């Protein structure tokens, strides 16, 4: 049920194209790039994942092409099945033995829709909080906090979210996977 609610809230959030921009700034500290490996530190938790797919190579027809099971597994410390396509250009990865049971990755389209997507989040999801250090621009929707991260990178808008777990390790893993997808 929580997954269905997450997808429904996402669809409502993207459906609107108006609203006030009520953003504040935060930083995902310590996001660095060493070759293709992305390392993220939030608090006492550090995770690393290899960036193997670039966002520019993905089409809206295949949201599961945004992240490989290996990238998801590395970020969340688990084994990951192949992604399963969902409604609303979403892909769900079922994890085994990690810090979260599932991870969702969403494909929102090209960068030309960035302002509309953000306005939808502002209007329907309680605003956003900007996050530095991932992609060209990124934010957390205020209703999900650090458990969903929307990113603009390489003319692509995508999000990574977890609805079934919380804590600093989850926050770091979301940033880590988003960084790997963005190649930053």
pLDDT in tens, 27-84: 333 333 333 343 333 344 343 434 444 444 555 568 999 999 999 999 999 999 999 9
What does the pLDDT read at residue 59? 54
Inter-residue contact 54 to 183 (CB < 8 Å): yes
Total residue length of the chain: 184
Stretch 86-92: mean pLDDT, rounded? Answer: 90
**Cβ contacts of 85 within 8 Å, gap of 6 or more:** 62, 63, 64, 91
Stretch 138-158: mean pLDDT, rounded? Answer: 96
What does the pLDDT read at residue 130? 97
Assess whether pLDDT exceeds 50 at residue 12.
Answer: no
Assess whether pLDDT exceeds 90 at residue 1.
Answer: no
* CA-closest candidate to residue 150, choices 165, 68, 166, 122: 122
Looking at the chain, the whole-number percentage of residues with pLDDT higher than 90 is 61
pLDDT digits (tens, 9 = 90+) for 157-166: 999 999 999 9
Q: Is 38 helix (H, G, I), strand (E, B) or coil?
A: strand
pTM over cut 0.85: no
Beta strands (DSSP E) in the chain are: 23-27, 32-34, 37-42, 45-50, 79-80, 84-86, 90-96, 102-109, 128-132, 137-141, 148-153, 156-161
What does the pLDDT read at residue 123? 95
Inter-residue contact 156 to 107 (CB < 8 Å): yes
Domain residue ranges in the chain: 2-182
Q: What value, to the nearest 5°, has the Cα angle with vertex 157 and ends 151 and 159?
A: 55
What does the pLDDT read at residue 184? 65
What does the pLDDT read at residue 88? 81
């Amino acid at each position: 049920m929580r997954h269905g609610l997450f997808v429904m809230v996402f669809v409502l959030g993207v459906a609107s194209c108006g609203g006030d921009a009520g953003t504040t700034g935060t930083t995902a500290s310590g996001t660095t790039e060493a070759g293709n490996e992305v390392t993220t530190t939030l608090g006492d938790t550090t995770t690393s994942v290899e960036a193997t797919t670039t966002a520019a190579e993905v089409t809206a027809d295949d949201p599961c092409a945004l992240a490989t099971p290996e990238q998801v597994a590395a970020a969340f410390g688990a084994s990951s099945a192949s992604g399963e396509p969902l409604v609303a250009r979403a892909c769900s990865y079922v994890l085994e033995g990690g810090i979260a049971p599932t991870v969702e990755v969403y494909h929102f389209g090209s960068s030309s829709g960035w302002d509309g997507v953000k306005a939808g989040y502002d209007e329907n999801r309680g605003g956003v909080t900007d996050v530095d250090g991932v992609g060209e621009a990124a934010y957390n929707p205020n209703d999900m906090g650090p458990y969903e991260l929307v990113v603009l990178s390489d003319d692509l808008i995508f999000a990574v979210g977890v609805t079934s777990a919380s804590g600093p390790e989850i926050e770091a893993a979301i940033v880590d996977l988003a960084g790997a997808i963005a190649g930053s």
